């Protein structure tokens, strides 16, 4: 991976991290319900895990598809899915219907997985993945086994970097809101991240068609 890719995965992690629907808001609420900061911090790790699993599933499916499908076909398919999902999210305010505040590690992991998946968080990484052809990314065109291992390592580090920046940002926002800013933020500064998100998906759908290494 080159610097652009690293930066891309990191910045998308930042973007996912500041979205209240992805985690920090729930972490803040759990802290307030329990009246302790450790509840805020404790919620962040299962959230990061669920987010990482959701991202990894999409990333590995795309990587597999990269091996099976001609590049242009995959590029167009991803563009259609991304753009279509963005359009759907733009017009539909549907949201996951989870109910429950008394959550343990497993619940929070599943919740985060559902939220990330329903928002198409992993899909948003597709332009970065397709930007570098699979073979070229690993650099071992002629050695299938080495190439697969190299691919897997590359994909895992992409998921890892993304998740790390997600965890860091969502954690910082959660603690700042819990300790300093308070809930007034929700009324004043909260704007429709989901709407912005749907536009981001549409942009990603267009970018994926043209953005090659």
Partner 1 sequence: MLQQWKPDPTFYPSPKMAIEAPIEDVAYVAAPRDDDKPDAMCVVDLNSASDTYGQIVNKLELGVRDEIHHFGWNACSAALCPYAPHPYIERRYLVVPALRGSSIYILDVKEDPKAPKLIKTLDANEVESRSGYTRPHTVHCGPEGIYVSALASAGSEEGPGGIFLMDHYNFNILGQWEVERGSQSLSYDFWWHLGYDVAVTSEWGYPAMIENGVSLEDLGERKFGHKIHIWDIRHRKNIQTLDLGDDYQMILELRPAHDPTKAHGFVNAVLNMNDLSSSIWTWYKDGNDWGIQKIIDIPAQAPENPDDLPPALKDIGMIPPLVTDHILSLDDRFLYVSCWGTGEMLQYDVSDPFNPKHTGTLEIGGITKSHPHPAAGPVSGGPQMVELSRDGKRLYFTNSLYVAWDNQFYPDGANGWMVKADVNVEDGGLELDPNFFVDFGESRAHQIRLQGGDSSSDTFCYP
Contacts to partner 1 by CB under 8 A: 20-21, 25-26, 28-30, 32-33, 35, 90-103, 111, 183-184, 186-187, 190-192, 194-195
Smallest CA-to-CA distance from 113 within 47, 166, 159 is with 47
CB 199 to partner 1: min, Å: 11
Could you tell me how many residues make up the chain? 213
Nearest distance from C-beta of residue 103 to partner 1, angstroms: 8
CA–CA dist 145, 151 (Å, integer): 10
Q: How far is the CB of 203 from partner 1 (least distance, A)?
A: 17
Nearest by Cα to 5 from 119, 161, 203, 142: 161
Q: How many CB atoms within 10 Å of residue 40? A: 23
Closer residue to partner 1 in complex, CB, 80/195: 195
**51 or 75, CB closer to partner 1?**
51
Is residue 93 within a helix (H) or strand (E), and if so which, with residue range?
none
Tell the smallest beta-carbon distance from residue 179 to partner 1 (Å).
15
């Amino acid at each position: 991976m080159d610097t652009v890719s690293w930066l891309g995965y990191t910045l998308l992690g930042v973007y996912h991290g500041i979205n209240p629907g992805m985690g920090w808001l729930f972490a803040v609420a759990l802290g307030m319900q329990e009246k302790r900061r450790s509840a805020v911090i404790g919620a962040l790790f299962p959230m990061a895990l669920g987010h990482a699993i959701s991202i990894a599933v999409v990333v590995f499916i795309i990587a597999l598809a990269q091996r099976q499908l001609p590049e242009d076909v995959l590029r167009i398919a991803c563009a259609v899915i991304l753009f279509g999902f963005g359009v759907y999210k733009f017009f539909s305010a549907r949201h996951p219907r989870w109910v429950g505040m008394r959550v343990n590690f497993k619940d929070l992991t599943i919740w985060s997985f559902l939220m990330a998946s329903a928002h198409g968080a992993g899909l948003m990484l597709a332009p970065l993945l397709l930007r570098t052809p699979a073979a070229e990314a690993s650099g071992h065109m002629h050695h299938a086994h080495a190439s697969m291992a190299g691919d897997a390592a590359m994909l895992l580090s992409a998921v890892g970097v993304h998740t790390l920046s997600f965890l860091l940002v969502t954690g910082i926002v959660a603690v700042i809101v819990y300790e300093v800013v308070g809930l007034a933020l929700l009324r004043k500064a909260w704007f429709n991240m989901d709407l912005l998100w749907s536009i981001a998906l549409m942009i990603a759908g267009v970018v994926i068609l043209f953005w090659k290494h």
